[in-house]
Amino acid sequence: MSVIVAKWTIDEYHRMIEAGILSDRKVELLQGEIFEMSPEGEPHAYCSHEAGEYLAKLLAERASIRQAKPITLPNNSEPEPDIAIVQRLGREYREHHPYPENIFWLIEYANSSLEKDLEIKSKIYAQVGILEYWVVNLQKQNLVIFREILDGEYASKQTLTAGKIQPLAFPDVIVAVEKIINS
């Protein structure tokens, strides 16, 4: 017997949200499949919030920092990254969530969702051309940086525990790794 997985489009997913079908569940759409999102523990909530505040000060008016808000991707995905650093488009986001061309880079904080964030989401983000993706491993207290898209996957993966990094979109900005990991 073969297993057939029902795939959903972004429009179908939005209709389910509007109808209230998913109102009592914390979910996200990844390549047409609806995934339950792990609950945020205290370290996750604290670190992602503090890092978002730090990046908002660091980038000031150059980018908008969206925390735990959806982004819409053309591969039938609508994930909710912990932090999305996006173009400041103001009221345009009343009409749509950020698209790949609006995204400078994404950050996920992972404890129980580590495998999903490192494997599934990294492929989804690379496929749609998001040039940079960071994953904070809360278990090991490190930052995994994905860059250089090649054949729909990130070809570069670097792990840092300290030091400084310059985001590709803002090479003149210096981000303290400790402020992203520990805040």
Structure confidence by residue, pLDDT tens digits, 79-127: 999 999 999 999 999 999 999 999 999 999 998 888 899 999 999 999 9
> Average pLDDT in the 137-145 region?
95
Percent of the chain residues topping a pLDDT of 90? 86
Handedness of CA 147, 148, 152, 153 (dihedral sign): negative
Chain-centre distance of CA 115, in angstroms?
Answer: 14
Percent of the chain residues topping a pLDDT of 70? 99
What's the chain's average pLDDT?
Answer: 94
Q: Is the pLDDT of residue 51 over 90?
A: yes
CA-based R_g, the chain, Å: 16
CATH homologous superfamily for the domain 40-181: tt1808, chain A (3.90.1570.10)
Cα separation, 124 vs 95, whole angstroms? 23
Cα separation, 133 vs 114, whole angstroms? 14
**CA-based end-to-end distance of the chain:** 50
**Hey, what are 17's tokens?**
């949200």
The domain ranges of the chain are 40-181
Cα separation, 139 vs 155, whole angstroms? 24
Which residue intervals of the chain are DSSP H helices?
Answer: 10-19, 42-59, 114-115, 122-127, 177-181
Q: Is the pLDDT of residue 67 over 80?
A: yes
* pLDDT score recorded for residue 44: 92
Q: Are the CB atoms for 109 and 82 separated by under 8 Å? A: yes
* Residue 27 CB coordination number (10 Å): 16
* pLDDT score recorded for residue 183: 64
* Residue 82 CB coordination number (10 Å): 26
Coarse DSSP helix, strand, coil percentages of the chain, rounded to the nearest 5 percent: 30, 30, 40
Q: Is the pLDDT of residue 24 over 90?
A: no
Q: Are the CB atoms for 181 and 47 separated by under 8 Å? A: yes
